[in-house]
Amino acid sequence: MKQYHVAILGATGAVGKAMLEVLLERKFPIASLKLLASKRSAGTLISMGDQTYVVEEASAASFAGVDIVLGAADQEIAKRFIPEAIKAGAVVIDNSSAYRLDPDVPLIIPEVNPEAIRQHHGIIANPNCATIIALVACQPLHAYATIQRLVVSTYQAVSGAGIAGLRELDEQVDALRNGQAVQTAAFPYQIAYNLIPQIGGFNEQGYTSEEMKMQNEGRKILNQPSLQVNCTCVRVPVQRSHCESILVELKKPVDVALARKLIAQGQGVRLVDDPASAQYPMPLDASNQDLVYVGRIREDMSGHANALSLWCCGDQIRKGAATNAVQIAQLLIEQK
Amino acid sequence: MKQYHVAILGATGAVGKAMLEVLLERKFPIASLKLLASKRSAGTLISMGDQTYVVEEASAASFAGVDIVLGAADQEIAKRFIPEAIKAGAVVIDNSSAYRLDPDVPLIIPEVNPEAIRQHHGIIANPNCATIIALVACQPLHAYATIQRLVVSTYQAVSGAGIAGLRELDEQVDALRNGQAVQTAAFPYQIAYNLIPQIGGFNEQGYTSEEMKMQNEGRKILNQPSLQVNCTCVRVPVQRSHCESILVELKKPVDVALARKLIAQGQGVRLVDDPASAQYPMPLDASNQDLVYVGRIREDMSGHANALSLWCCGDQIRKGAATNAVQIAQLLIEQK
């Protein structure tokens, strides 16, 4: 079996570390592995399984001989290094938003649009976490009855702001328990015992960048430029799984029994939907694993014959980012 | 000015205590005040302002000479004592769900349908907290353009389960910080750092009782039997303010500027909607006061010409329960 020279760009963040974890779990055929980060992190040791890796400072020279780069850095770092990696002959799977809407860059959820990988020119983009979780949850319904419209309200974990977000929730809870003042840095306001209905900046229509991603990335991934999306994104004091309340309007009717059957047979999803025994998706259950949990499936009672309500939940760091990127890498090597 | 003999039934709970607080704050014309509760709580002292009250055990005889009873007990206690209170000549304003859908009982939000008070026969029902907050937020839009449909996802505070809910969140956080096992009683699962998409029991269609209240109470309050409501109710680890993400479809178009103007002029609401300076409603800001905060107002971008998205937030114990009941009592004495 062919083995690959792999690099992770932004290896010291929450997503970068999870990429390493998932690569090893999935026994990705690795010939060599480089962990790249900023100068500040160079020399950091990262232990995973029985191996310890030394983080190297990323530079244009880092990509010589690398086959696959998993990008877990922010948009600016991505734009600086990805062209260098491509020039060096690597294929980059990038988790930043830098190239997601570039028409020359496939934007892939392996359960939804794996075929798009054939169009890549050196960069494949990993979608936004909330978009991945919503579309993996809805894909079994989409394959059968074609999504027309999504009305989504999100409940997004602090891990969406990386290690700094996770730390901030902990520190704020500690401060409050000790009667101390709460410090904010990763989020604009206190998140402990609070909800912040802003993720990203606002556009002129009052939508945040996170809300627009659900529409714009959704349209591209489903290859459906007229997909209608109404989205409200909210940060909640939960550690690492995003939940979403979704009203999905379909082209033809799907009753609850059929919806459950489709989701039970779907890829990347786990049906958790037994009201009689109070079984439904929750962040604590969905964390630290790769499936998107789907439940609370109900026929709409507000007048739309082909609509279903559902509630889904997925680990934001894993399926929302790292696992999806590693799955794309797996698709890539299957193609070769 | 006439003064009234007032009793609070269920005075030792979170809502009962807040009723006392709001009665005093609003200088309700009280001739005498009885705090009634179960035998177990009889003798408890409750201090409020410069007064201390002794809790009495509720019995059929408790209501002799009482003009107005504010009910803060559960459905069973309500059904047991309210007929006795009416027999004794009192008017009861009841916060339980026991009589809310009874066609002979007005269900009132003073900002929305104060005129319904004229139809009472001794009982006036106080609506469910999430319903009050949603309808107070939407009323200024409804008065101008008539609500046709609401798609609501709620983010409900632990105070919805009373003092026990508030205590459970605190105790779970403490247990987790100390590496101890989490105990659950008020909620079916751990609520600290988690989300529970179940409030109340499930019906055969998979909707919870809390979700059905938004439709059934909403229809009655707006006197609009065909009002369409799609609702998903979720418990979040927040102390005492409920938030709701609402897509409201109206009979005619309302743009964002007009919606903001209507809400700024509305009753019982406070417009908090300035994306440029990151101003929007949050639970921490909306707690311990009586207004429903409304913001994040956006025109729907998913194909409905007359729809708006908004985000609202209100104190569940106060406007969601106690304050609304006291406001009804104020309406009642204005009528007399």
Taking chain A (336 residues) in consecutive chunks of 10 residues, what is each chunk's mean pLDDT?
A: 96 96 96 96 90 95 97 95 97 97 98 97 98 98 98 98 97 96 97 98 98 98 97 98 98 98 98 98 97 98 94 98 98 88
What's residue A51's pLDDT?
87
Q: Confidence class of residue B265 from pLDDT cuts 50, 70 and 90? A: very high
Mean pLDDT of B64-74: 97
What's residue B303's pLDDT?
86
CA–CA distance, B77 with B14 (Å, rounded to integer): 16
Beta-bridge partners for B229: B150
Q: Report the catalytic residues of B.
A: 129, 242
Note the ipTM here: 0.97
Query: What single-letter amino acid sits at B178?
Result: N
DSSP assignment of B270-288: EE--BGGGTB---HHHHTT
**For testing the chain A interface, which of B173, B193, B255, B287 should be mutated: the one with the most A CBs within 10 Å?**
B193
pLDDT tens, position by position, B186-238 = 999 999 999 999 999 999 999 999 999 999 999 999 999 999 999 999 999 99
What's residue A336's pLDDT?
65
Judged by CB atoms closer than 8 Å, whether chains meet at B296 and A232 is answered as yes
Strands B241-250 and B307-315: antiparallel
A179 touching B (Cβ < 8 Å): no
The answer to whether A254 and A310 are in contact (CB under 8 A) is: no
**For testing the chain B interface, which of A178, A193, A300 should be mutated: the one with the most B CBs within 10 Å?**
A193
Find the residue in A nearest to B233 (Cα). A245
What's residue B65's pLDDT?
97
Tell me how far CA of residue A186 lies from CA of A57, A256, B131, B239, in angstroms: 24, 40, 33, 22
pLDDT tens, position by position, B194-204 = 999 999 999 99
Beta-bridge partners for B9: B36, B71
Mean pLDDT of chain B: 97
Does residue B51 carry a pLDDT above 90?
Answer: no
A224 touching B (Cβ < 8 Å): no
Judged by CB atoms closer than 8 Å, whether chains meet at A237 and B237 is answered as yes
A181 touching B (Cβ < 8 Å): no
CA–CA distance, B150 with B226 (Å, rounded to integer): 12
DSSP assignment of B44-91: -EEEETTEEEEEEE--GGGGTT-SEEEE-S-HHHHHHHHHHHHHTT-E
A151, A198, A299: residue with CB nearest B205: A299
Query: Is the pTM here over 0.95, yes or no?
Result: yes
| The pair of three-digit structure tokens given for residue B50, joined into one six-digit string | 């410069």
- A215: chain B residues, CB-CB within 8 Å: 301
What's residue B336's pLDDT?
65
- How far from the centroid of its chain's Cα atoms is residue A206's Cα? 24
pLDDT tens, position by position, B116-159 = 999 999 999 999 999 999 999 999 999 999 999 999 999 999 99
User: What's the Rg (C-alpha) of chain B?
Assistant: 20
Cα atoms found within 13 Å of the Cα of residue B5, Cβ hemisphere only: 10
- Residues 65-124 of chain B with CB under 8 A from chain A are none
Judged by CB atoms closer than 8 Å, whether chains meet at B282 and A229 is answered as no
What's residue A182's pLDDT?
97
B47 touching A (Cβ < 8 Å): no
- A274: chain B residues, CB-CB within 8 Å: none
Q: Confidence class of residue B316 from pLDDT cuts 50, 70 and 90? A: very high
Distance of residue B93 Cα from the nearest chain A Cα, in angstroms: 30
What's residue A28's pLDDT?
97
Judged by CB atoms closer than 8 Å, whether chains meet at A151 and B234 is answered as no
B219 touching A (Cβ < 8 Å): no
| The pair of three-digit structure tokens given for residue B257, joined into one six-digit string | 């500027």
Residue of A120, A233, A242, A313 marked catalytic:
A242
CA–CA distance, A170 with A150 (Å, rounded to integer): 33
Q: In this complex, how many residue pairs, one in chain A and one in chain B, have their CB atoms less than 8 Å apart?
A: 162
